[in-house]
Chain A
């Protein structure tokens, strides 16, 4: 996610146990303004549900601000936030009462999650790949995350990111071609 975040919001201290959040309100507002929309897009695409994405987003920020973190720069904070959000999403779908796979529920779950027809089309294409693959695709091709960042966020070994992304990209490119969504990109 190189170069897409320019906030100076750094957690003041690792003070979760001191009874306060790890940023001041102003730092939080700045950090939130930079990260909330991309994070919600990410969560909406990997869950297919806008309401769920909102819930997970709020929980992710809270967990991040409560965590005992060493001093991190803004980019590291953002990566940590995405990691928390990714783990929360996986936990959500792992719970016994949530047996449905996000992939199968994506289209029908919440039309607000997608909005336009272009969005619906890409959502349909994304719903055909595994949740972890969706995470990787979004991080690599929308957030522009490096392989190291993808590895840190998704927990996939850094050496496996490249071949996995290669396979997913080929699969998606073929699906996009079949759906007529690849036009004019070159």
Chain B
């Protein structure tokens, strides 16, 4: 067999024969005379001798979990534009309100005080709503 100085081309054959137990006399004779395949057999035997996992997650349960996760992710993705629009609207409202206060103060100081109080109340309410929504998520 062509050895190419490093790995024999029959190494994969040796590994697969070990897996399937289909070791022909010819292959056994080759391994006996091939250092590369001998080493490959030693390594593969040791690795394959280790027992496999006792359990794997249940396929049905995993499928359900994946379906639920997919559904949740798609809902979140669908909600993303609405959330962005909502935040932009809030930011625009806040900017307009802040710009309006000096104008209101020029008209009537009392009106400005009422407007600031209203803004603070709106701000607190909005923050509570966001906090509740975030904690639910």
Instruction: List the interface of chain A (C-beta within 8 A of B).
Output: 2-4, 19-21, 25, 28-29, 32-33, 36-38, 40-41, 44-45, 50, 53-54, 57-58, 61-62, 65-66, 114-116, 118-119, 121-123, 125-126, 137-138, 140-142, 144, 146, 162-163, 165-166, 169-170, 172-173, 176-177, 181-182, 184-186
Contact = CB atoms under 8 A, between A and B. Distances in A.
Interface residues of B, number: 40
B70 A169 contact: no
In terms of DSSP, what is the predominant structure of the interface of chain B? helix
A12 B120 CA distance: 55
10 contacts: A21-B67, A28-B63, A32-B59, A50-B53, A57-B57, A141-B44, A142-B15, A170-B39, A186-B31, A186-B38
A37 B52 contact: yes
Contacts, number: 130
B111 interface: no
A40 B53 contact: yes
Nearest to B74: A19
B56 A37 contact: yes
Contact of B15 (A41, A50, A144): A144
Contact of B56 (A36, A173, A182): A36
A182 B40 CA distance: 11
Nearest to B17: A144
B15 A65 contact: no
Given A2-B16, A21-B67, A36-B56, A119 B50 contact: yes
